Structure 1
Amino acid sequence: MTTDLNDRVAFVTGGGSGIGEATALLLAERGAHVVVTGRRRDPLDAVVERIHTAGGRGEARVVDVSDEAGFVAALEQVAEQHGRLDILVNNAMAFNWGPLEEMTTEQWHENFTTTVDGTFWGTRTALSLMKARGGAIINLASICGELGTAWMAGYSASKAAVINFSRAAAAEGAAHGVRVNVVVPAVVETPATEGMLADDATRRSTEKLIPMGRVGRPEELAAAIAFLASDDASYITGATLPVDGGRGAVLITAID
């Protein structure tokens, strides 16, 4: 077992399932003390139990990243309790979808509250907490933030904002040894995509768009996040790393 993150303190939002869960498990496996957060207690406790069973260290905290005061307080409490904050993974997101012409202003803003505002609040707070010793912030975007996607205008705009916000944050954090990077998934097999991928025809049509011919696994995203959190990525900041099976690299894929 690699223990390159030994004794580091990591804070993972949206950690109760999917990419967040896989990330929390891997960071703990590699030696970090992982604070697993989300809005529902039961999934968080289940993830922490898996961490403990595997011999790792972790704790669960109910945190809603769309609540600025609560999110900021949780980060500050963790840093005070453990004497440090080394890794922040801004994974939590929320979105709605539908035709642009039918989208209300309220629905438009709903796409930003968790994804953009939460990423801003988390990054701003972590920058302040990490200044003394450095650290790594990894923000989750989406291929929808780089390519236009019908019926996903609000979500696409919010993820595009995360990408460029992270570049600006990287520029400001670099002098203090705080690295800020972005991981960009395409379609990943998580509870959020379970319904879509359960339909065989939809799954096949989705996989045809991906050069590697399959959707991603949460563990593959977690591996990229853990790399960016580690000292192996010590000279990488402001980067946008696609983990998408090649989907973002092509205009069209082969037609069979």
Structure 2
Amino acid sequence: MNRFEDKVVIVTGAASGMGKATAQRFSREGAKVVLADRQHEKLQEVLEQLPQDRTAARLTDVCVQEQVRDLVDFAIEKFGKLDVLVNDAGIHVPGNVLEVSVDDWHRVQTNNVDSVFYGAREAIPYLEKTRGCIVNVASVSGLGGDWGMSAYNTSKGALVNLTRVLALDFARKGIRVNAVCPTFTYTGMTADMADNKALMAKFAERIPLGRGAQPEEIAAVIAFLASEDAGFVTGVNMPVDGGLTASNGQPGQ
């Protein structure tokens, strides 16, 4: 497929995991891709793997509004327009409200919610010109609660509703806004979990398809939501979860 030929796409969190897979997916489909991350070496590695004539990278801390503004300005200067913004950058700090420090609480909200607010503010004036779209990376943890993940769950729940309100506010300007909500996905951030065989057995039992997701599987859905194939889809928080949220929580047979 070549759905994104001549399209310009910004992907945050592009140095690893789902962000890296997403950048690679858009590139394979012909897009001009601007990679953003604060991990310099890993960002350069991804950049070197993609076509140099239609790929650029910008060291960016999405927690800093000025750097997000600089990222969008860089994309416009480099490629002349913006068609898609993918907000993938995010972090996780475990613990209930008695265990998470105040600083970590704010750090999670800033990384996972404020960054998307900044990105939307900077990108929307350009997306209006191209009738472009935003795809946010939320989580099934934004659709329901987990034990011991108070900061992360709160941030992803906020992102789920921010996705809806952005879709409502800017639909008449031709801008679509959607989110993917993955379940457990094999990335660097989940490596410790993946090494826990007992925990992974529980995930395999709970997820109807019997396994976690690969980053490329999430990237494929992000690409769909950004494509013309999803031209009448906006305000959706799409579970990409192997059937996890299809269950009401009762045990299987």
The TM-score, its normalising length taken from structure 1, stands at 0.94
Q: Does 1:202 align with 2:207?
A: no
**What residue identity is the alignment partner of 1:246?**
G
Q: Does 1:30 align with 2:11?
A: no
Q: Does 1:73 align with 2:79?
A: no
In structure 2, the residue matched to 1:243 is 240
1:22-68 C-alpha deviation (Å, 9 max, x unpaired): 0000000000011111001111111122222xx88312211110011
Q: What SS does the aligned partner of 1:242 have?
A: strand
Q: Which runs of 4+ in 1 moved over 6 A?
A: none
In structure 2, the residue matched to 1:102 is 99
The two structures, once aligned, show a CA RMSD in angstroms of 1.5
In structure 1, the residue matched to 2:209 is 212
**What residue identity is the alignment partner of 1:229?**
A
Q: Within 2, Cα distance between the matches of 1:244 and 1:213?
A: 10
Listed as ranges, the matches of 1:12-161 within 5 Å are: 12-52=11-51, 57-161=54-158
Q: What SS does the aligned partner of 2:146 have?
A: coil
Greater mean alpha carbon deviation, residues 73-82 or residues 36-45: 73-82
Once the two structures are TM-superposed, the CA of residue 254 in structure 1 deviates from its matched residue by 4.7
Q: 1:56 to 1:31 in 2, by over 3 A?
A: farther
Q: Within 1, Cα distance between the matches of 2:216 and 2:34?
A: 18
In structure 1, the residue matched to 2:165 is 168
**What residue identity is the alignment partner of 2:18?**
I
Q: What SS does the aligned partner of 2:180 have?
A: strand
Once the two structures are TM-superposed, the CA of residue 81 in structure 1 deviates from its matched residue by 2.8
Once the two structures are TM-superposed, the CA of residue 171 in structure 1 deviates from its matched residue by 1.0
Once the two structures are TM-superposed, the CA of residue 175 in structure 1 deviates from its matched residue by 1.2
1:69-128 C-alpha deviation (Å, 9 max, x unpaired): 111121122123311000100000023111322333322212101110000000121111
In structure 2, the residue matched to 1:186 is 183
Contact 1:31 1:56 in 2 (8 A): no
Q: 1:246 to 1:224 in 2, by over 3 A?
A: same
Q: What SS does the aligned partner of 1:101 have?
A: coil
Q: What SS does the aligned partner of 1:232 have?
A: helix
Q: 1:87 to 1:202 in 2, by over 3 A?
A: same
Q: Within 2, Cα distance between the matches of 1:10 and 1:120?
A: 18
Contact 2:82 2:130 in 1 (8 A): no
* Structure 1, gaps ≥5 residues long: none
Contact 2:186 2:215 in 1 (8 A): yes
Q: Within 1, Cα distance between the matches of 2:73 and 2:172?
A: 22
Contact 2:179 2:238 in 1 (8 A): yes
Q: Within 1, Cα distance between the matches of 2:158 and 2:172?
A: 23
